[in-house]
Structure 1
Amino acid sequence: MLVRSSGEGGETWFTVSAEGTIAVAAHPDEASKEVPTTTGERPRATSAESRATSHAVPAVPVEVDTNTPETRRKPSAADFGSHRAERAPGPAEEGWRGVVNEMSGHAFRLPPSCAELQRRAWRAAAQRGLSGHKTIVFVNLKGGATKTTATFLVGATLGRVRGGNVLAWDNNENQGTLEQLSMAASHDNTATDLLANIDRFAIPSNSPELTNYMRPQGENRFHALVSQNEASNQEVIDGSAFVQLHGMLRQFYHLILVDTGNAATASTWQAAVEIADEIVLVALNKRDSTKKLAATVDILIAQGLESKLARGVLILTEPAAPARKGSNRDKASDERRGYIAEHFGHYVRDVVNVPYDEALSEGDEIVYENLAPATQRAYLAATAAIVDGL
């Protein structure tokens, strides 16, 4: 097809082939000789054709070399060897399905339920490998917010599911309560006693003496380091002492869980949140507990610790037994839980709800086997989420 364009510089003729190729022609006769058109075919219009002016030369299509060799990396033997086909889940081990499989001598191999598959996924997440030592700090400036309980039960879950060297450390600036929840030891030494003898652990051969300060927690497979056992209005271990102790303890423990106190101005609290790899929020589903937690978050954000919060979770525990379904207390609790999740969801990766458990109501030594299955599942979910953040 022959196209004419007129402008201040005179007339210019273009030819457009059926394939959309454009060429400049000096004269209509020359143009018609260059690109003959086939009868019955309509050449495709181009944007250059519709916008042709005397001030612009239409663009000529660029041919692409389709024979250019690919530049992608070829798979190596390591790639081939690392490939694993997705395995079908093993037979059920829990619930009535697990009972049937067990009683049949595994002649039956009923598949696991969705709930069991979820628990297996949580266990796998909690067992994930980590790049070096990690410290997790549990915070809420409100006393009685279940910080110590959460520290103990995440430690117990890690010990039972993951194993390894796990330490729960009561870093209350005055007197903490981890000692009340933990199994007793053959000694009554605390963090202050360890601090007084810290120089001995500069010599590697003295490392077995650490057992004289730690409290093994039996089947929970973690150690507890408790705070001083006398109440005081003064900081017994300050920030610099905490850093000194932490530097020594990280040589012996892969994971350290730190239970903090209730004063953001305390140097030991400041040192703990600064040294943490991840910050975990803890609260009861009560207005006073979550209101204080919101203030705690504001303080952490003001100190530039938002990224540590973003890796963490909120463990939200019900303060009382469930109310009658549809009652005013039940509706108020559900509404508050939703508002809490919405607010703190802007700062943490996940919110894990823990049901009320009579076995935890007295504040005495925690016996893991006495916990309700729902509580054990909730702490498994919380632990998996915490490890995901690391």
Structure 2
Amino acid sequence: MSLKGGVGKTTTTVTLGGVFASQRGDRVVAVDANPDLGTLARRVGEPPDAPTVRDLLAVPDFSRYPQVKACASQSSSRLEVIGSDRDPAVSEAFSEDDYRRAVDILQHHYNIILTDCGTGLLHSAMAGVLDLAHTLVLVTSPALDGVQSAEATLDWLEAHGRGALAANAVVVVSGARPGQAAVDPAVLVSHFGSRTRAVCPVPFDRHLSEGAVVDLARLRPATLLAYRELAATVAEDFTSWHRHAAV
């Protein structure tokens, strides 16, 4: 999650989910809870007419995995993705109750649920996201405005009774494009490390910066290693929860 757009939330959701799905025998699903035309489904090559979370909520018998799976697209990494509605008005109407129902359906069939959040902490669905999430993955760029937004997110969580969630968060610092001004990553690791459970820097990767379909095979070795380390860090908390993370 992040209050700032363009810092790599959706990229992190797809890549982290892809690593979990390809490295483990678990069923892994990512849900787009962004009310502003989320792009999660596009990052796995979902066609324009693919089912959305609205179709999931309309499944007549969600006790059957094939009916639930029919509402998802699957990436080459085995990650399953359920996209948001492509009509902005319908997407905006995705409520807290809708989100809770979606998670209730999915937790019967998936071991790990990732949620790609929007930037608004006050959107209706966000209350459900924060109530149900066991781990927050807070994504920031190394640019000053991105860092300030991450700080503001942690401050808001602490001020609204979510201090434990903030303290257990994992911060992902997306690498800056070569030549761009950035805060020293070592400074960010030290700073956010004092407020959260862990900080995981991820190097800049041209393939991910394209904004196209994410293919783990096209990542630089250093990038793939960083995401594997991120997955291992998030998984350290798996023994205490149902594996539901908000990104």
How does the TM-score come out when normalised to structure 1?
0.58
Which entry has the higher C-alpha Rg, 1 or 2?
Answer: 1
The change in CA–CA distance for 1:270 and 1:262 in structure 2 (over 3 A counts) is same
Deviates more, 1:289-298 or 1:373-382: 289-298
Q: Could you say which residue in structure 1 is the equivalent of 2:12?
A: 150
The change in CA–CA distance for 1:234 and 1:381 in structure 2 (over 3 A counts) is closer
Q: Which amino acid aligns with 1:363?
A: G
Give the one of 132, 139, 156 matched to 1:275.
Answer: 132
Q: Could you say which residue in structure 2 is the equivalent of 1:380?
A: 228
C-alpha deviation, 1:308, in angstroms: 2.4
Any idea what the Cα deviations from partners look like across 1:300-332, whole Å, max 9, x if unmatched?
A: 1122222223333111011202x5xxxxx6xx6
Q: Secondary structure at the match of 1:364?
A: coil
Any idea what the Cα deviations from partners look like across 1:165-196, whole Å, max 9, x if unmatched?
A: 1001111123101122113369511112222x
C-alpha deviation, 1:368, in angstroms: 1.2
Structure 2 stretches of 5 or more lacking a match?
A: 239-247
Q: Could you say which residue in structure 2 is the equivalent of 1:291?
A: 148
Q: RMSD of the TM alignment (CA)?
A: 1.9
Q: Could you say which residue in structure 2 is the equivalent of 1:215?
A: 73
| Count of aligned positions | 238
Q: Give distance in 2, aligned partners of 1:340 and 1:319.
A: 13
Q: Could you say which residue in structure 1 is the equivalent of 2:159?
A: 302
Q: Give distance in 2, aligned partners of 1:258 and 1:380.
A: 19
Conservation of the 8 A alpha-carbon contact between 2:85 and 2:91 = no
**Structure 1 position 169 matched with structure 2 position 31:** yes
Q: Which amino acid aligns with 1:265?
A: L
The change in CA–CA distance for 1:347 and 1:165 in structure 2 (over 3 A counts) is same
How does the TM-score come out when normalised to structure 2?
0.89
C-alpha deviation, 1:234, in angstroms: 6.7
Any idea what the Cα deviations from partners look like across 1:5-60, whole Å, max 9, x if unmatched?
A: xxxxxxxxxxxxxxxxxxxxxxxxxxxxxxxxxxxxxxxxxxxxxxxxxxxxxxxx
Give the one of 141, 146, 161 matched to 2:3.
Answer: 141
Deviates more, 1:178-187 or 1:306-315: 178-187
Q: Secondary structure at the match of 1:201?
A: coil
Structure 1 stretches of 5 or more lacking a match?
A: 1-138, 324-328
Seq. identity, % = 28
Q: Secondary structure at the match of 2:81?
A: strand
Alignment of 1:187-336 (within 5 A): 188-195=50-57, 197-198=58-59, 200-202=60-62, 204=63, 206-218=64-76, 220-232=77-89, 235-321=92-178, 323=179, 333=182, 335-336=183-184
Q: Give distance in 2, aligned partners of 1:175 and 1:319.
A: 25
Q: Give distance in 2, aligned partners of 1:312 and 1:254.
A: 20
Q: Which amino acid aligns with 2:33?
A: N
Alignment of 1:91-130 (within 5 A): none
